[in-house]
Chains A and B, each alone.
Chain A
Amino acid sequence: MAFTYSPLGSVTVGSGGSTTITFNNIPQNYTDLVLKLSSRDTYAATGLTVWANFNGNTTSTHTYSRMFGSGSGTGASSDATQTRLFVGDHPGSTATASTFGNIEMYIPNYTSGNFKSVSNDAVQELNNTTAYANLSATLWSNPTAINRISLTCQTAFAEFSTATLYGIRVEL
Chain B
Amino acid sequence: MPQTYTPIATTTLASSASSYTFSSIPSAYTDLIVVFNGTATSANNVYLQFNSDTGSNYSMTYLYASGSSVSSGKTSNTTNIYAMGLPTSNATLTMTVINYSNTTTYKTCLQRGAESAVTATVGLWRSTSAINAVKLLTDTSFASGCTFTLYGIKAA
Q: Which residues of A contact B (CB under 8 A)?
A: 2, 4-5, 31-32, 63, 65-67, 74-78, 106, 108-109, 112, 114-121, 135-139, 141, 168-172
Of all chain A residues, which has the CB nearest B92? Answer: A117
Cβ contacts under 8 Å, A78 to chain B:
65-68
Cβ contacts under 8 Å, B118 to chain A:
65-67, 76, 135-137
Please name 13 further chain A to chain B contacts, defined as beta carbons within 8 Å, in addition to the given A66-B65, A76-B65, A76-B67, sorted by A numbering. Answer: A2-B6, A4-B4, A31-B149, A65-B117, A76-B66, A76-B69, A78-B68, A106-B92, A117-B91, A135-B120, A137-B115, A139-B90, A168-B5
In the bound assembly, the distance between CA atoms of A156 and B94 in angstroms comes to: 31
Judged by DSSP, the binding face of A is strand
In the bound assembly, the distance between CA atoms of A137 and B5 in angstroms comes to: 23
Q: A114 contacts B67, CB within 8 Å? A: no
In the bound assembly, the distance between CA atoms of A114 and B66 in angstroms comes to: 23
Q: Which residues of B contact A (CB under 8 A)?
A: 4-10, 35, 37-39, 63-70, 89-92, 94, 112-118, 120, 145, 147, 149, 151
Cβ contacts under 8 Å, A75 to chain B:
68, 70
Cβ contacts under 8 Å, A74 to chain B:
70
Q: A76 contacts B70, CB within 8 Å? A: yes
